[in-house]
């Protein structure tokens, strides 16, 4: 929602001069045109969560540490709930345009990552076998390399490094 500025306040007609058309056909203006309220709220929640986690690592008192952990978990749940809020039909402000766009972009990122892993870690690139992605969700992807466990762990580390070099985004640009 942040990366694509998805919000009730940024949704526009596809004919709008600054419209960015999403895979679902919904259109939103970019943050450069008008920053959405939901992305702003999410950024503040995530920043507060990061701060709470940072404070947790520095805290010595177990009670205070537990309170900070509860705070960061509450902030995480609140941030994750904003997406659900847009997709729930019983919500005060449901928006199929926002929720379906989030889902479509996530699915596309998983598909791009799958394609990249399977093309990079292949016999054609000098690896001893072809990797096969067997499962993927929004926050991780499981791939299978039928070879040796030690080498599979090396491949996993390489995929992790690839994702870090892309800021945690889809690996489709490798």
- In tens, the pLDDT along 142-162 reads 655 555 555 666 777 777 777
Q: How many domains does the chain have?
A: 2
pLDDT tier for residue 126 given thresholds of 50, 70 and 90: confident
Task: Kindly state whether residue 3 falls inside one of the protein's structural domains.
Answer: no
Does 78 lie in the same domain as 49? yes
Determine the structural domain holding residue 123 and report its residue range: 106-173
Establish if 2 belongs to a structural domain.
Answer: no
Is 101 a domain residue?
no
Report pLDDT digits (tens) over 19-51. 999 999 999 999 999 999 999 999 999 999 999
Do 52 and 111 fall into the same domain? no
The answer on 83 and 15 residing in a single domain is yes
Q: In terms of pTM, does the model score above 0.85?
A: no
Query: Three-state SS across the chain?
Result: CCCCCCCCCCEECCCCCCEEECCCCCEEECCCCCCCHHHHHHHHHHHHHHHHHHHHHHCCCHHHHHHHHHHHHHHHHHHHHHHHHHHCCCCCCCCHHHHHHHHHHHHHHHHHHHHHHHHHCCHHHCCCCCCEEEEEECCEEEEECCCCHHHHHHHHHHHHHHHHHCCCCCHHHC
């Amino acid at each position: 929602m942040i990366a694509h500025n998805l919000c009730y306040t940024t949704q526009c007609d596809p004919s709008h001069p600054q419209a960015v058309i999403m895979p679902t056909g919904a259109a939103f203006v970019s943050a450069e045109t008008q920053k959405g309220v939901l992305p702003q709220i999410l950024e503040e929640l995530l920043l507060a969560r990061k701060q709470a986690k940072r404070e947790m690592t520095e805290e010595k008192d177990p009670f205070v540490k537990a309170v900070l952990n509860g705070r960061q978990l509450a902030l995480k749940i609140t941030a994750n709930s904003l997406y659900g809020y847009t997709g729930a039909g019983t919500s005060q402000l449901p928006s199929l345009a926002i929720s379906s766009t989030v889902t479509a972009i996530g699915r596309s990122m998983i598909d791009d990552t799958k394609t990249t892993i399977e093309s990079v870690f292949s016999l054609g690139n000098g690896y001893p076998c072809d990797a096969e992605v067997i499962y993927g969700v929004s926050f991780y992807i499981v791939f299978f390399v039928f070879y040796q466990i030690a080498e599979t762990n090396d491949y996993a580390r390489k995929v992790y490094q690839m994702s870090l070099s892309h800021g945690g985004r889809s690996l489709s640009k490798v």
